Amino acid sequence: MKITPSILALATMLISAPLFAQNKGLDVIYGEDNRIDVFESTNMAHVELAKSTAAMIDGGSLIIDSNEIEINASTLEKRGICSHERFSKQITPANCSGFLVAPNVLVTAGHCIRSAADCRDNKWVFDFKVDHAEQGKVFVPSSNAYSCKKIISQSLNGATKDDYAVIELDRKVTDRKPLKFRRSGKVTTGTPLVVIGHPTGLPTKIADGANVRSLQSKYFVANLDTYGGNSGSAVFNARTLEVEGILVRGDTDYIYDRTYGCQVSNICKNDSCRGEDVTYITNIDALKNI
């Protein structure tokens, strides 16, 4: 989810959708739609990175027993997205995305976690993914769900456009590795990128084929195929596989198709539309000693 004024339009359109973080922004497909499910990926490095990404899901959307969690929510189609859209049969419970940087430390967007209530009311679920394209309900081991113990650091600055949050989880994550991230310097224009997260709240999607378009003081702009729900997603350097930044804002996701009477993805050329904004990971002082 990323911050744009067009959130009001999406809120009206997706009346039955789970409530995304306030002031989230929206996104768009640039060129070809490069989003794929984890099971579709033939890049084992990307699959491994996906293991260390998590979905922020309201605790009320999870049915938890001692061994297993059932995740269920409205599908894209039930939220007013055209049935011929990709992933229309999949559920959309994730409000934001995040990624592991230490055994008990997770990074997300600042507008996803603003308060102690946000910390308390949401769970962070790893391996929220599907095994086939039209899978409905998703089940994960109960051990894959973590609570936010406290907010370590958070920024949501309208003037500088800085947008990040660092949270401590309720316990260490022992079955997957923290991600490597840039600690100094800055990404350059043209650098190829990969993003992993939960577009429109969907199960984990991997999207490559993007590049850095321009550099700003607190963020860079890229042509990433991301949507609301991708807020907090790790944006990786496709060459080094290190996290370069956090997906935070972008262009409009969906537009109304009068022919079908439903919403379809907004499509832009790779070098057109506003682009997607990514907070530099190096902005976060709290990560310097991790």
C-alpha 270/C-alpha 249 separation (Å) is: 17
Give CA separation, 170 vs 54, 96, 118, 204, in Å.
Answer: 14, 18, 14, 22
Report residue 7's pLDDT band, with 50, 70 and 90 as the boundaries: very low
Q: Residue 183's domain spans which residues? A: 7-284
Residue 1 lies in a domain: no
Burial class (CB in 10 A: 0-12, 13-18, 19+), 258: exposed
pLDDT at position 32 is 77
pLDDT at position 149 is 98
Q: Is residue 282 pLDDT above 60, yes or no?
A: yes
Per-residue pLDDT of 185-240, as tens digits, reads 999 999 999 999 999 999 999 999 999 999 999 999 999 999 889 999 999 999 99
Residue 2 lies in a domain: no
Question: Which has more pLDDT, 162 or 11?
Answer: 162
pLDDT at position 64 is 85
pLDDT at position 266 is 80
pLDDT at position 255 is 81
pLDDT at position 268 is 80
C-alpha 122/C-alpha 112 separation (Å) is: 10
Burial class (CB in 10 A: 0-12, 13-18, 19+), 173: buried
Give the total number of structural domains in the chain. 1
Per-residue pLDDT of 35-44, as tens digits, reads 999 999 999 9
Per-residue pLDDT of 238-258, as tens digits, reads 999 999 999 999 877 788 889
- Indicate which CATH number applies to the domain containing 123: 2.40.10.120
Cβ atoms 205, 240 nearer than 8 A: no
Per-residue pLDDT of 43-52, as tens digits, reads 999 999 999 9
**What proportion of the chain, given as a percentage, has pLDDT over 70?**
89
Per-residue pLDDT of 14-73, as tens digits, reads 433 333 443 334 446 676 788 999 999 999 999 999 999 999 999 989 998 889 999 989
pLDDT at position 31 is 67
Residue 95 lies in a domain: yes
Per-residue pLDDT of 126-181, as tens digits, reads 999 999 988 988 999 999 999 999 999 999 999 999 999 999 999 999 999 999 99
Pair of tokens at residue 120: 């308390």
